[in-house]
Homo-oligomer: A and B are copies of this chain.
Amino acid sequence: MHIECNKNNLINAINIVLKAVTTRSTMEILSCILLVADREGFRLIGNDLKLSIETSNIESEVYEKGSVAIDAKLFSDIIRNLPTEYVSIKVDDNFNSTITSGKSVFKIKGLDGEQFPKPEALNRNIGETEIGSLSLKNMIKQTIFSVAVEDNRPILTGELLKFDENELHIVAIDGYRVSWRKSPVEYSSYTELVVPAKTLNEICRLLPDDDEVRVKIIFSSMHIMFIFDKCTVVSRLLDGDYLNYENLFSSESPLELTVNTEELLTALSRATIISDNNKKTEITLTIGDRFMNINTNTSIGTLNEDVAINIEKGEDLVIRFNARYLIDVLNAVDEEYVKLHFNTNKSPCIATGVTGDSFKYLVLPINPRG
């Protein structure tokens, strides 16, 4: 193999595929980046066997076809530190790789590219659609915080992507809250896919903040593929049925109020400062006519704070929450005001937009004392 390419393009490409390189495997080759030069051009591939990322967005010239797998960290460190914009990579039959730039000549040992696991090909597709990059990124970011971390129910460590009547729903559930966002998309068949959170986190980091960039999504019964900007990401799907979450949102809400998202968020953040341990900050919300009082009382101290609210319907309520769960939800609300729906002090709080129904969040309260 012999190629020449632009250094900055190559650094960008390395940064992209690095997300699918693992150093935790016993297979040495999975800690490598695969370099491929063929008639389609020059491209890089990372593959940790759950997720593969491939990118060909590199200005390059192929002089001799071939492939080699090079330790990802070493390759990345070398390329980043080269002295000029031009990089030549030449690999002999024993995978000895010579990387030259200006007066700098590195010689390192690579591995046989043929031994590198190929990304999944997705032969039997069951559907495909496309969506704006920024829309997809936001939907993921604004739900993924409530994916279950522990995997005693492995299906909940992924997010549900549900296609239904030209809408894409993305849902994440852990034991204490539900996040649900939807967005229009051209795909009318009913399809449910559960995508691992790790895949979606990496996708989020790669997607540009631009809806002009269209992300093509192709799925089979076992895999999902995202294609954008000369990048191809292929991930396994999680196996099993997702929870039925829709009926969780169907209960009545005799008390409804609107509140400034930022004001409530910063007040709750202050409450976490005096939590006894960093994970759980118990707060008491006392909802009155014009204010919601937030109270925390720990061994470290107390915080008392009033936040202005507008009651839409219903009466006073005293209810306790883990402040972190409400904070996560409010961080994901991208509107100035949010509507909160309450029933009893044992029932969940549901957050929705003041108008529209593009999101719904549900948070369980802490059971009342005594």
The interface bits of chain A over 63-106 (1 if a CB of B lies within 8 angstroms of the residue's CB, else 0) are 00000000000100110011100000000000000000001111
Can you name 6 A-B residue pairings with CB atoms under 8 Å?
Answer: A74-B300, A82-B270, A104-B305, A105-B304, A108-B274, A108-B301
CB distance from A313 to the nearest CB of B (A): 25
A83-B267, A104-B267 known; 6 new pairs, CB 8 Å cut-off, are A77-B273, A105-B304, A105-B305, A106-B274, A106-B302, A107-B302
Copy total for this chain: 2
A78 to B274, CA, bound (A): 8
A303 to B273, CA, bound (A): 51
B74 and A105 contact, CB distance less than 8 A = no
Report A's interface with B, CB cutoff 8 A. 74, 77-78, 81-83, 103-109, 266-267, 269-270, 273-274, 300-307
Q: Which residues of B contact A269 (CB under 8 A)?
A: 81
Q: Which residues of B contact A74 (CB under 8 A)?
A: 273-274, 300-301
- Which of B78, B83, B301, B303 makes the CB contact (< 8 A) with A104? B303
- Which of B78, B83, B274 makes the CB contact (< 8 A) with A266? B83
B105 and A303 contact, CB distance less than 8 A = yes
A324 to B78, CA, bound (A): 17
A81 and B266 contact, CB distance less than 8 A = yes
Q: Which residues of B contact A103 (CB under 8 A)?
A: 305-307
CB distance from A40 to the nearest CB of B (A): 29
Query: Which residue of the partner chain B has the closest CB to A77?
Result: B273
B109 and A301 contact, CB distance less than 8 A = yes
Select the residue from A77, A273, A302 with max chain B CB neighbours within 10 A. A273
